[in-house]
Chains A and B, each alone.
Chain A
Amino acid sequence: MGLSKWIGTKQGIFIVLLVLLAVLPLILNDFHTNLLGRYLAFAILVIGLDLVWGYTGILSLGHGIFFGLGAYIMAIYVTTESSGGALPDFMMWSGMTELPFLWELLSNPVAAILLGILLPMAIASLLGFFTFRNRIKGVYFTILTQALVLVTVTLIVSQQRYTGGSDGLSGLSTMFGFSLSSPQTQLFLYFLTLVVLAAVFYFCFKLVNSRFGKVLIAIRDGENRLRFSGYNTAYYKMVVFTLSAGIAGLAGMLYVLQIRIITPTMIDIIPSIEMALWVAIGGRGTLLGPIFGAILANVGTTFFSENYPELWTYFIGLVFIVVIVFLPGGLMSIGNKLKRKRRGSDHEEAEQQAGSAADKHS
């Protein structure tokens, strides 16, 4: 394959994107680099969400919670380290005299990092176990993921003495002795996030191109048919949902270290829905598209909310409608559309037929 052709493949585009993201900190100031680093954390999350929604056809509007659990767990660790063994302020105000057990446990960094991934996975597999096995799917499953968000957020807000309530956790100042407010630490975290993004993309790319990945697409296309081919589809769905929750937890941990605050509103219903929007804008079932969707939508949010705060919400709504109506395949389909124009109509028909079948499954 020639170089110019290779650049056009998914791997090629991703490598170019990585290189671009690696040199951007040279141009951007510290503040913008830090912002971009947060968006990269979102980009990690949407890869996992795309596995579930784009490939397997299960729409989760609850990934904010998996992301949030990772973020909260990491925030608790950093808070304990930052306060040097003393009780955080909000606990003293609510009359606590010693660290609760969970905090004690999470003051161990290894435990925190492991749980930041494993706890979201455990919750996802429990939810998956009880729903997929009982053939709860489509809208009903999606509603359950929203219920999970409601329950968790309510729990976090009501357990103020353990979680900081609606104010969240904001005393994140040092990690492993490094000041989180120093530009060097943040630059390191930016590159760490970039490396994790590359690793997660590589892993998921391998996954969707394996025979396992074909089974995921087959579940989306015709779960019933697949059962009669001898597949325990409920188990597959549980595995992929759990995996994507783990990726979300990982993303949440990286995110909170860069924003240095976590509150319930950051992981609530609206952010959970927005995450799915990024996937849709970028292009479901492409892995690469959602990465662009997450980064561009957030760059757009920042730009507009800084310059035209009152117009922003209308704008994102408009973008979404435009994408749904004119670009159901998301940004990634622009490339295909251009290619098709050049190649003529032969391919177009087959692709359109396949495309209309896809819409039925959404």
Chain B
Amino acid sequence: MKKQNNKQDQPLTSILKCRDVLVKFGDFTALDRFSFGMADKEIHFLIGPNGAGKTTFLDVLCGLTKMSDGSITFQKNYSIDDKKEFEIARKGIGRKFQAPSIFPHLTVQENLEVAMKQEKGVFSMLRAKMTKKQKEKIDRQLEIIGLAGKRDILAGGLSHGQKQWLEIGMVMMQEPELLLLDEPIAGMTEEEEEKTGSLLRELKQDCSLIVVEHDMDFVREYAEKVTVMHEGTLLSEGTMEEIQQNDKVREVYLGSKGADAHA
């Protein structure tokens, strides 16, 4: 299933279909009939100038912001239009926020324990015991995010980069089908960036990813597909090469601003 050769150029199974998504904040239109689709197990980058609506789009996908119009279908036919955040999360959409958001008064291990995929109702939680399998999963995750030595430390005491890692670990523990990452390498050292990149590739084995990123080198390195947004609309979509050759894109983004971003 996974390594399907689609020589006939058949579209891969689609995991997300968004049609004419409209989001308004008062008079301001943040997403203007934005349509978007992606295939299963794809790394899809979202780029665009500041204020283009990238974060807003992720917010809509995870239920934080409600759309005024349009429709979003996840997997086969799960409509997220009227769903609450926790329902969407349970269905398999995980979100990593831009500013690291973890639980500072729980230990590193407890953060993962709470985030882990499991029955999350009150009564299941009251009865929950750490099973051997869960323990192993947490141990493995701690290794992956490089925090095994800090497992019993309160997460509030971690450095900025470590908090980012912890949050990535937390969403991984949720075992999402679709993972939304907002500027995951912002504020990271070059070494950490590389580590994050290889982690993304690893993640791709199990889930689809939408990554918002400003760093063009990073996008070029890891993107399979790129969507360029501008003022709440879709400007262009394709591989990185296709995008770079697109005149409209050069004009609004890669041209002037892209040069700045590299400097």
* A interface residues, Cβ below 8 angstroms from B: 207, 210-212, 214-215, 217-218, 220-222, 224-233, 235-236, 239, 349-351, 353-354, 357-358
Q: How far is the CA of A229 from the CA of B95 in the complex (A)?
A: 8
The answer to whether B120 touches A231, judged by C-beta atoms less than 8 angstroms apart, is yes
The answer to whether B86 touches A231, judged by C-beta atoms less than 8 angstroms apart, is yes
Give 16 pairs: A residue, B residue, CB < 8 Å, sorted on A.
A214-B106, A217-B105, A220-B105, A227-B85, A228-B62, A228-B95, A230-B89, A231-B120, A232-B84, A233-B86, A235-B121, A349-B157, A350-B153, A354-B105, A354-B154, A354-B156
B residues in contact with A226, CB < 8 Å: 103, 114
Q: How far is the CA of A218 from the CA of B107 in the complex (A)?
A: 11
Q: How far is the CB of A211 from chain B (nearest CB, A)?
A: 4
Closest 9 CB pairs of A and B: A350-B157, A354-B156, A230-B89, A221-B103, A227-B85, A357-B104, A211-B128, A212-B125, A230-B90
Tell me whether A229 and B174 are in contact in the complex, defined as CB-CB below 8 angstroms, given that A211-B125, A215-B125 are known contacts. yes
A-facing mask of B129-158, CB < 8 A → 1, else 0? 000000000000000000000000110110
A residues in contact with B84, CB < 8 Å: 227, 232
Does B113 sit at the interface, judged by CB under 8 A? yes
The answer to whether A210 touches B157, judged by C-beta atoms less than 8 angstroms apart, is no
The answer to whether A350 touches B156, judged by C-beta atoms less than 8 angstroms apart, is yes
A residues in contact with B170, CB < 8 Å: 229
Q: How far is the CB of B13 from chain A (nearest CB, A)?
A: 24
Q: How far is the CA of A215 from the CA of B111 in the complex (A)?
A: 9
Q: Which of A212, A217, A231, A354 contacts B126 (CB 8 A)?
A: A212
The answer to whether B122 touches A351, judged by C-beta atoms less than 8 angstroms apart, is no
Write the chain A residue with the least CB distance to B107.
Answer: A214
The answer to whether A357 touches B105, judged by C-beta atoms less than 8 angstroms apart, is yes
Write the chain A residue with the least CB distance to B111.
Answer: A218
Q: How far is the CB of B28 from chain A (nearest CB, A)?
A: 23
Q: How far is the CA of A350 from the CA of B128 in the complex (A)?
A: 29
The answer to whether B120 touches A230, judged by C-beta atoms less than 8 angstroms apart, is yes
Tell me whether A218 and B114 are in contact in the complex, defined as CB-CB below 8 angstroms, given that A210-B128, A357-B105 are known contacts. yes
Write the chain A residue with the least CB distance to B155.
Answer: A354
Q: How far is the CA of A233 from the CA of B121 in the complex (A)?
A: 10
Does B50 sit at the interface, judged by CB under 8 A? no
Q: How far is the CB of A249 from chain B (nearest CB, A)?
A: 21
A residues in contact with B122, CB < 8 Å: 212, 235-236, 239
Write the chain A residue with the least CB distance to B91.
Answer: A230
Q: Report B99-123 residues with CB < 8 Å from chain A CB.
A: 101-106, 110, 113-115, 120-122
Q: How far is the CB of B122 from chain A (nearest CB, A)?
A: 5
The answer to whether A353 touches B156, judged by C-beta atoms less than 8 angstroms apart, is yes
Q: Report B64-94 residues with CB < 8 Å from chain A CB.
A: 64, 84-86, 89-90, 94
The answer to whether A230 touches B174, judged by C-beta atoms less than 8 angstroms apart, is yes
The answer to whether A210 touches B106, judged by C-beta atoms less than 8 angstroms apart, is no
The answer to whether A232 touches B153, judged by C-beta atoms less than 8 angstroms apart, is no
Q: How far is the CA of A215 from the CA of B126 in the complex (A)?
A: 10
